[in-house]
Structure 1
Amino acid sequence: MEKKYVAEPYKIKVVEPIAVTTREQREAVIKKAGYNTFLIDSADVYIDLLTDSGTTAMSDHQWAGLMEGDEAYAGSKNFMHLQEAVKDVFGFKYTVPTHQGRGAENILSKITITEGDYIPGNMYFTTTRAHQEMNGGIFRDVIIDEAHDAMKDHPFKGNIDLDKFQALIDEVGADKIPYICVAVTVNLAGGQPVSMENLKTVSKLAHDHDIKVMFDATRCVENAYFIKEREAGYHDKTIAEILKEMMSYGDGCTMSGKKDCLVNIGGFLALNDEDLYQKATQLVVVYEGMPSYGGMAGRDMEAMARGIYESIDYHYIHHRISQCRYLGEKLSEAGIPIVKPIGGHAVFLDARAFYSHIPQEEFPAQTLAAQLYLQSGVRSMERGIVSAGRDKNGNQYYPKLELVRLTIPRRVYTYSHMDVVADSIIDLYENRGNVKGLKMIYEPPVLRFFTARFQPLSS
């Protein structure tokens, strides 16, 4: 009999009870949270698919590493281990530890961006664009058009459009582009990867114009897996070999270690340029801490160093991608509109198609995330017009993709949990016609999706 899923390459040592609530209880919870899933207490959540950031279950080897934490203010041995791991696995010479990925984004933006500079990228990410704009940069999307089509089944929807990149260079001049930000994978496109061939050509075009290539490497191991699976010439290469080649086309990266580095906190900025590194070490003292610990404790650096090596194990990443694919395929077979192909860290529901009767200005994705919690206690995340926010002039962004992200934490849930999620969404879809949208009653000025509040429309 053919197996329906890839079994877990680990065994469970510790369990944590999770909340089983009634619909009546959940109605009170979601109302109190202003219909924003970010504002729900975790104690009121049954299956938490809000994010894969910091929600990883660490291994026994990582937990053992915590006991070897060297909490010296300067020169921690754990920093040496982290630096060695980054150089060995990613290939970058210098490592600046930060409290998480956005700390690295902040420092990179401050040391590279001058007011009026343009930062091209393969679709925006919320905090990345915020740091770029707060430091005077102007984001320009240069991803291929296929990425904005939820139903388009393209193997590398995260690819940079070389014509768009060249057009920006011609328009503003290379001296106004300090670097191109290449996300591997692209979160807001549905966890979509970038091909090795595209990375090579982007790198050549950028470096021909003295433009640096900086990776958002948060989910780079997932990207390496997709290259191995989908790109000719890489089927027989190891994840480690593919990842090292990927990173060789860049000048540095920002990393949220809370994803592919398999830890609950921490990140880093990795660089090859010594001058940029020196500038980064000056700023990390101001915003994070000493260059040898940044925003991290020694024990957390040790756990991250060990997690980096665990992440490139094929059996681990094969199971992770397969679990995500299991959920996506179950939904797709039931006729649920999702982003295709299925990404590496999450399944993305196409809320625009799911609630086709709800206009975008009434927040269909935010509505769907709230309804999913009401239905079953499953927490998810809006990735649509609320996340897109407003431009500097206060005008609303209207992204083509209006999505709900079902983000799967690493080594946390079983396939039975995925079945519960799928069944709940299928029930919602069958009764979708009676659902009304939301109106925003509180909007913060920056990154509004974290703390905005809503209420249901009555008519």
Structure 2
Amino acid sequence: MSKFMPEPFKIKSVEPMYFISDERREAAVQEAGFNTFLLKSKDCYIDLLTDSGTSAMSDKQWAGLMVGDEAYAGSENFYHLEEVVKEYFGFKYLIPTHQGRGAENILSTLTIKPGDYVPGNMYFTTTRFHQERNGATFVDVICDEAHQPDLADVPFKGNVDIAKLQKLIDEVGGDKIPYICLAVTVNLAGGQPVSMANIKAVSELCHKHGIKVMYDATRCVENAFFIKDREAGFEDKSIKAILLEMFSYGDGCTMSGKKDCLTNNGGFLCMNDEELFLEAKGMVVQFEGMPSYGGLAGRDMEAMAIGITESVEYDYIAHRVNQIRYLGERLEAAGVPMVKPYGGHAIFLDARAFLPHLDQQQLPAQALAAAIYRTSGVRTMERGIVSAGRDVKTGKNHVPKLETVRLTIPRRVYTYAHMDYVADAIIELYKNRESIRGLEFVFEPKVLRFFTGRFSEI
């Protein structure tokens, strides 16, 4: 196994963790309907449900909360955030939102007409929901390698397949494609990055046909690290410089500040188009708040501005990615199947290979996530057929090629010792995997069913 430097921070404040009994865990998973989203936080020993809003903030961020300007309009913290976003992202205009979902809603509502198409390098749940809600059809244009979990020697499995994108443009015309949603990194592919060369090629093709390039920038710092680590010509460039070059090829972005901005709340929408900016300002007033706070407190904007500057520090982001590598290497050494190469925010277990005795319609990823909690108290989440949802036209299940369980590592929260516990628990479960039974829905919401759906064992 690789050798890694220890955590690049000192612990100043601690939160107790409690390990509950087998009996209480069994009662908890039954009460939650085998849905890890419905478990109570207090019943989870190590919580790897998500990296969204779960970061530990720094001493400087906590200090920043104390200078929150809570004015209803014109908060000083908004101007600080605007300055930092321009410096690190390079876009002209900023609309703060309560989280990334608010930015997705504004972008989709203002740019999509019924009958449009939105290509993207693999779907994301809430993003596709907003696109479809406004009448668009999502088209996956990611490279084929992204759908092959055990293919390890592809450094940029998040890349757009330019031929697929060109085919869509030829079939429907550029006027039917308001923008491409370019995720950096690609969450559901396993946190896989996009190369700078691919970003440039996408930009050139889209702009040739009048199509905007809008990034899902949620984990853009992780993507910049992978470019520095894996793409020739970038090894000596700073993370900040790589970020600026990445975004220079696009027209705007949606951002969940709850990930790479290292905050527990917030997000924003960026763009270079002044007309779109003015429309977005009008819409944010209707649904979020004044354009100078967008549903956020001043202190939240201050913490986000500071978090952006901290996120590009090399020691921080190198440790962030290496912690995922450490967990992945431990699991891989024991033969546990997963998406490779390891991504930037999580390890994605290959649930179909982990549980070959279950058919995909028996929801193997959901079953595996529940089993991990049952045996260890570690909360993870399903990213497979349940998350994929149903086709809005046919009502049939989307059947993704990737059926995974995501072990999502919060930023600056857990140590390598915690990763050892997680690895040991999953390795032991893998040895006894035949005992895991499939699941079926007993309650299925109409949209975003993975959040609140309930299941029972088959």
Q: Same fold (TM over 0.5)?
A: yes
Quick one: which amino acid aligns to residue 269 of structure 2? L
The residue number in structure 2 matching 1:83 is 82
Quick one: which amino acid aligns to residue 43 of structure 1? K
Quick one: which amino acid aligns to residue 276 of structure 1? L
The residue number in structure 2 matching 1:338 is 338
1:168-225 Cα offsets, whole Å, 9 max, x none, are 0000010000000000000000000000000000000000001000000000000000
Q: CA deviation at 1:18?
A: 1.5
CA distance in 1, matches of 2:200, 2:173: 22
1:34-78 Cα offsets, whole Å, 9 max, x none, are 000000000000000000000000000000000000011110000
Unaligned runs of 5+ in 2: none
Compute the TM-score of the two structures, normalised by the length of structure 1: 0.99
Q: CA deviation at 1:395?
A: 1.0
The residue number in structure 1 matching 2:204 is 204
CA distance in 1, matches of 2:56, 2:108: 31
CA distance in 2, matches of 1:41, 1:233: 47
The residue number in structure 2 matching 1:9 is 8
The residue number in structure 1 matching 2:451 is 450
CA distance in 2, matches of 1:445, 1:18: 35
CA distance in 1, matches of 2:313, 2:122: 29
- Residues 2 and 326, structure 2, Cα contact 8 Å, conserved in 1: no
Alignment of 1:11-410 (within 5 A): 11-153=10-152, 154-392=154-392, 393-410=394-411
Quick one: which amino acid aligns to residue 451 of structure 1? T
1:70-101 Cα offsets, whole Å, 9 max, x none, are 01111000000000010000001111000000
Q: CA deviation at 1:19?
A: 2.0
CA distance in 2, matches of 1:295, 1:266: 8
Quick one: which amino acid aligns to residue 415 of structure 2? T
CA distance in 1, matches of 2:128, 2:376: 33
1:252-280 Cα offsets, whole Å, 9 max, x none, are 00000000000000000011110000010
- Structure 1 SS opposite 2:253: strand
The residue number in structure 2 matching 1:415 is 416
- Displaced runs of 4 or more, over 3 A: none
CA RMSD after TM alignment: 0.8
CA distance in 2, matches of 1:287, 1:356: 46
The residue number in structure 1 matching 2:441 is 440
CA distance in 2, matches of 1:375, 1:5: 28
- Count of paired positions: 456
Quick one: which amino acid aligns to residue 422 of structure 1? A
- Residues 206 and 212, structure 1, Cα contact 8 Å, conserved in 2: yes
1:262-311 Cα offsets, whole Å, 9 max, x none, are 00000000111100000100000011000000011000000000000000
- Structure 1 SS opposite 2:188: helix
Q: CA deviation at 1:435?
A: 1.7
- Residues 50 and 407, structure 1, Cα contact 8 Å, conserved in 2: yes
Q: CA deviation at 1:3?
A: 7.5
Quick one: which amino acid aligns to residue 431 of structure 2? E
Q: CA deviation at 1:6?
A: 2.2
Q: CA deviation at 1:434?
A: 2.0
CA distance in 2, matches of 1:400, 1:177: 25
- Structure 1 SS opposite 2:149: coil
- Residues 55 and 409, structure 1, Cα contact 8 Å, conserved in 2: yes
CA distance in 2, matches of 1:5, 1:211: 43
- Residues 195 and 227, structure 2, Cα contact 8 Å, conserved in 1: yes
Identity of aligned pairs, percent? 69
Compute the TM-score of the two structures, normalised by the length of structure 2: 0.99
Quick one: which amino acid aligns to residue 78 of structure 2? F
- Residues 386 and 448, structure 1, Cα contact 8 Å, conserved in 2: yes
